[in-house]
Structure 1
Amino acid sequence: MGGRQVAWHDVVDKIDWLRGTSYDVEELTGGLTNVNLKVTHPGGVCVVRVAQPGSDLLAIDHDHEHHNSVAAAEAGVGAPVLDYLPDAGLMVVEYIDGRTFTDSDLRSGEHLDRVAAAVRKLHSGPRFSSDFDMFALQPAYLEVVRERGFRLPERYLDFAPQVERIRRAFAVREEPTVPCNNDLLAGNLIDDGEKIWLIDYEYSGNNEATFELGNLWSEAGLSLDQLDELVAAYDGALHRHRVARARLWGLMSKYGWTLWGSIQDAVSTFDFDFWEWAMEKYDRAVAEFDGPDFDRLLDEAAGDE
């Protein structure tokens, strides 16, 4: 048994009901903030989420994550929460046995109706204990980046006027907030053959439904036609102002998560090129800020059709 494996057993042994039992530990791939350990024990299988240093710079509140994870489980789409050890930075959830989605799965278009149904179920569930607003998170991330001298992409600050125009367009008609995951990339969707589960609630909070849809569209690299399909499946009808709002939220998510990548590039211990990840987001955001559709989207988002 390697040293890292022994270390993970030391971590798992902090959980009272697992200590002293015979269990196997497997480190799951895919996470970029937490380490996720699949633990097979005599009573079943669970996932131990291990918080990593630097999460405070990313505005992650693990108490909110725990509360919201419990609420998502009550809504019927989140993994049941088995334990929470805040002092040890551990949360234990039930292992969901199913196929983890990829971007290609979502781009195939075969699952968008089911995904929309799962998102709607989460949004109809118990309200979360925290709020999420990319208009507040993006400047908070920017303050961290600038104060600590982290890398900032060329022209990044030049787009502040466009961000303000989006904010003003959205303010014409405020939308209610609902409990949102806010990080629905493909890897946080698991299909067990009967339903789709939505996992990982580090960035969860009450937010506009169109942010959830726009962020998912952006993260998976869906087409504009697929964004129409996703929003229509969620709403039950196609409304241009809702699509425009989702698309602009997708733009804001790319712009904000760019800074998340800059912070992770500086502080994360994961073997991952966070700067390349951030620049891919940023390049797509720039193309939309500078693109021919920007003014039209602002008009549509402020409309009522």
Structure 2
Amino acid sequence: MSSPLSDDHLDELLEQLPVLAGRARTLEDLSGGLTNRNVKITTADGTYVARCVDTTRNLLEIDRDCEHANSVAAHRAGVGAPVLDYRPDLGVLLLGYLEGKTLCNSDFGRPGVLAKAARAVRALHEGPRFVNQFDMFERQPAYLATCARHGFPIPAEYHAHADAFAEARRALAGGDSPLVPCNNDLLAGNFIEDGDHIHLIDYEYSGNNDPCFELGNIWSECGLSLEQLDELVTAYCGRPRPQMTARAHLQGIVAKYGWTLWGCIQSGSSALDFDFWDWAMERFEAAVAEFRSPAYHRLLDQVAADDGRG
């Protein structure tokens, strides 16, 4: 397993960044990072966030150059943090610190939050193109191969649902959604609320993608109800779009099944004190419940019948 970054090593890395070199600084670990160490850095000149990663292995296939380029694009779109330095040789991406409230799942029940989140997501999707693509139907088999290659356990019944996953792919292939810049990992902690504005952070898994994957992944990761998903899609589109809500729902199921393997890889390789297996099983069991529901094939039919006007 990879070892966590020590404080002494971190300080050595930060000293090599011009904006921080020779400056007195205080460090504070930020919660939420499951593939890197996120540190708030306060100096007399400003406040920053360093995203620090282990450069010796990359089992999750994260392209740090793409993360950097897409973070710059997200800032240009008006939703991401400013990018101040990038040192791939050190495994450090330095960002400006964003003031505001880091959301949790329950915050999406507050009046107005879903609408603000939808505006932020729309701004990202209408912003500068990202430099790469993201497709869970390509990422999932790659993760599966990584688990097999390294002997990482996966849920015992995982392969039993491969046909249901393939059916989702066929249904979604029938749409004509243009690919847009997507974060692809908008769990609640990646929304920073500052008054009427919401920032979106963490572009490790970013890439141009179906916007419905983004919306469905928010439903999945933030514990939204289907009614809240419909509210999110309505706010995103400016009018009710039941067919788009259905597509987002199906993409959210796809996300649950695919990210299950992310958790399995982390369970087998990460040194962090976090129960990645439980995290993976939570998503797997939720996906299986959807696959086994009588409503699943109705959802597939609804998505496959989408003519783009719903």
Q: TM-score range by the shorter chain?
A: over 0.9
Residues 22-31 or 277-286, more deviating: 22-31
CA shift for structure 1 position 275 = 0.3
Match of 1:259 in 2: 261
Q: Which amino acid aligns with 1:161?
A: D
How far apart, in 2, do the equivalents of 1:53 and 1:265 lie? 19
Match of 1:118 in 2: 120
Q: Deviation string for 1:215-270 (max 9, x for gaps)?
A: 00000111111111111111122222211110111001000110000000111111
How far apart, in 2, do the equivalents of 1:211 and 1:64 lie? 19
How far apart, in 2, do the equivalents of 1:172 and 1:197 lie? 32
189, 214, 217: which one aligns with 1:215: 217
Q: Which amino acid aligns with 1:30?
A: G
How far apart, in 1, do the equivalents of 2:248 and 2:91 lie? 34
Match of 1:37 in 2: 39
How far apart, in 2, do the equivalents of 1:71 and 1:204 lie? 11
How far apart, in 1, do the equivalents of 2:26 and 2:174 lie? 54
CA shift for structure 1 position 54 = 7.0
Match of 1:143 in 2: 145
CA shift for structure 1 position 191 = 0.7
What secondary structure does 1:151 align onto?
A: coil
Match of 2:252 in 1: 250
Asked if the contact 2:55–2:91 (Cα under 8 Å) also holds between the matched residues in 1, the reply is no
What secondary structure does 1:38 align onto?
A: strand
34, 39, 46: which one aligns with 2:48: 46
CA shift for structure 1 position 174 = 2.7
Asked if the contact 1:71–1:125 (Cα under 8 Å) also holds between the matched residues in 2, the reply is yes
How far apart, in 1, do the equivalents of 2:9 and 2:90 lie? 14
Aligned residues: 303
Task: Give 4+ residue runs of structure 1 displaced > 6 Å after superposition.
Answer: none
Q: Which amino acid aligns with 2:69?
A: H
User: Is it true that 1:75 corresponds to 2:77 in the alignment?
Assistant: yes
Asked if the contact 1:53–1:268 (Cα under 8 Å) also holds between the matched residues in 2, the reply is no
CA shift for structure 1 position 133 = 0.1
What secondary structure does 1:14 align onto?
A: coil
Match of 2:169 in 1: 167
Gaps of 5+ in 2: none
Gaps of 5+ in 1: none
Residues 46-55 or 84-93, more deviating: 46-55
CA shift for structure 1 position 208 = 0.6
CA shift for structure 1 position 53 = 5.4
Asked if the contact 2:103–2:193 (Cα under 8 Å) also holds between the matched residues in 1, the reply is yes
CA shift for structure 1 position 66 = 0.1
Asked if the contact 1:122–1:180 (Cα under 8 Å) also holds between the matched residues in 2, the reply is yes
User: Is it true that 1:90 corresponds to 2:102 in the alignment?
Assistant: no
What TM-score results when the alignment is normalised by the length of structure 1? 0.96
How far apart, in 1, do the equivalents of 2:241 and 2:25 lie? 51
What secondary structure does 1:200 align onto?
A: coil
Distance 1:261 1:54, change over 3 A: farther
Q: How does 1:278-289 map to 2 (within 5 A)?
A: 278-289=280-291
Q: Which amino acid aligns with 2:225?
A: S
CA shift for structure 1 position 103 = 0.5
Q: CA RMSD in A?
A: 1.4
CA shift for structure 1 position 171 = 1.7
Asked if the contact 1:64–1:130 (Cα under 8 Å) also holds between the matched residues in 2, the reply is yes
What TM-score results when the alignment is normalised by the length of structure 2? 0.95
